[in-house]
């Protein structure tokens, strides 16, 4: 009788484990497909609104006109998209390698905070559109001026999140690690940096979203290539289909960069993944 009860209990446990695994797989699939589903739903709503309200195509072109336009002009769109992607990635990468170390310095050094933080806040308060023409004058119409403006627009959100992340740690934990004989590097590697990662990745996602806008704004000021340049051309010629095609491509590029950041978070912060499972 006890053997039969044990086997029944083991079978119930295995069934529960199988059910839990299936539930986790379904949850992951739902979370992965949800953004794409919402995106497709928005396109359907766009098509329905244009069709039902009879909006003229020169005001709001339907999606069935925009997508073929992208295919038709794919060579031009690919070339100009690559220019904008380069500006985004280089500016965003420079923001990462400067804002995070500077955030760590300001978070750990009161002297650095008193010296640098007011200056950085002052730079942030200056309208970036006013600085953009100066970058063109100083650095020319090439890639460098666009990268620098992208860096300037994406730098401060990441800096703030880095400062907040490195200061989020409870001081009692630091006292505990010191009492256990941990070195400064060990404390940073195993305690301070992992605690700061969730906040830093929040800033990375914000900066990644801003990067596309920054690159396009930089191209507005002075450029002869890039999606921002095409956007200006389409607006000047009242070619709204071309304008919406550029906006669609910019949305895809922004989502792609944000997805890369989320993938890095998935790899570098596995404890957040484990929290989501619970």
Task: Encode the chain (278 residues) as per-residue pLDDT tens digits.
Answer: 455 555 555 656 666 656 667 677 677 666 667 767 887 888 888 888 888 888 787 778 888 888 888 888 889 999 999 999 999 999 999 999 999 999 999 998 889 888 888 888 888 888 877 787 888 778 877 888 899 989 989 999 999 999 999 988 877 877 778 778 778 788 888 888 888 898 999 999 999 989 988 888 888 887 788 899 999 888 888 888 999 999 989 988 988 888 889 888 888 877 766 555 44
The full DSSP string for the chain is: -HHHHHHHHHHHHHHHHHHHHHHHHHHHHHHHHHHHHHHHHHHHHHHHHHHHHT--TTTS--HHHHHHHHHHTHHHHHHHHHHHHHHHHHHHHHHHHHHHHHHHHHHH-HHHHHHHHHHHHHHHHS-HHHHHHHHHHHH-SSHHHHHHHHHHHHHHHHHHHHHHHHT-S-HHHHHHHHHTT--HHHHIIIIIHHHHHHHHHHHHHHHHHHHHHHHHHHHHHS-SSSHHHHHHHHHHTT-HHHHHHHHHHHHHHHHHHHHHHHHHHHHH-HHHHHHHH-
Please report the pLDDT score of residue 12 as a whole number.
60
Round to whole Å and give the CA distance between 233 and 239.
8
- Which residue pairs from 2-6 have beta carbons closer than 8 angstroms and sit at least 24 positions apart in sequence? none
Homologous superfamily assigned to 61-277: MetI-like (1.10.3720.10)
Please report the pLDDT score of residue 10 as a whole number.
61
User: What does pTM read for this prediction?
Assistant: 0.79
């Amino acid at each position: 009788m006890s053997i039969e009860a044990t086997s029944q209990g083991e079978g119930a446990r295995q069934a529960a484990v199988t059910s839990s695994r299936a539930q986790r797989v379904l949850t992951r699939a739902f979370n992965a497909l949800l953004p794409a589903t919402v995106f497709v739903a928005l396109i359907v709503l766009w098509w329905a609104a244009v069709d039902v309200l009879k909006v003229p195509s020169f005001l709001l072109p339907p999606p069935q006109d925009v997508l073929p336009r992208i295919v038709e002009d794919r060579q031009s769109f690919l070339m100009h998209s690559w220019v904008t992607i380069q500006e985004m990635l280089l500016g965003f990468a420079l923001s990462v390698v400067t804002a995070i170390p500077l955030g760590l310095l300001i978070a750990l050094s009161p002297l650095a905070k008193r010296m640098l933080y007011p200056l950085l806040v002052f730079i942030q308060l200056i309208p970036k559109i006013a600085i953009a023409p100066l970058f063109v004058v100083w650095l020319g119409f090439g890639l460098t001026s666009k990268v620098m403006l992208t860096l300037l627009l994406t730098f401060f959100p990441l800096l703030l999140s880095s400062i907040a992340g490195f200061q989020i740690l409870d001081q009692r934990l630091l006292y505990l690690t010191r009492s256990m004989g941990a070195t400064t590097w060990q404390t940073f590697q195993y305690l301070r940096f992992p605690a700061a990662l969730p906040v830093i990745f929040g800033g990375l996602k914000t900066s990644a979203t801003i990067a596309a806008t920054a690159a396009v704004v930089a191209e507005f000021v002075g450029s002869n290539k890039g999606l921002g340049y095409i956007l200006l051309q389409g607006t000047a010629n009242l070619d709204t289909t071309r304008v919406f095609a550029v906006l669609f491509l910019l949305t895809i590029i922004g989502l792609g960069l944000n997805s890369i950041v989320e993938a890095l978070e998935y790899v570098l912060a596995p404890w957040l993944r484990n929290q989501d499972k619970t």
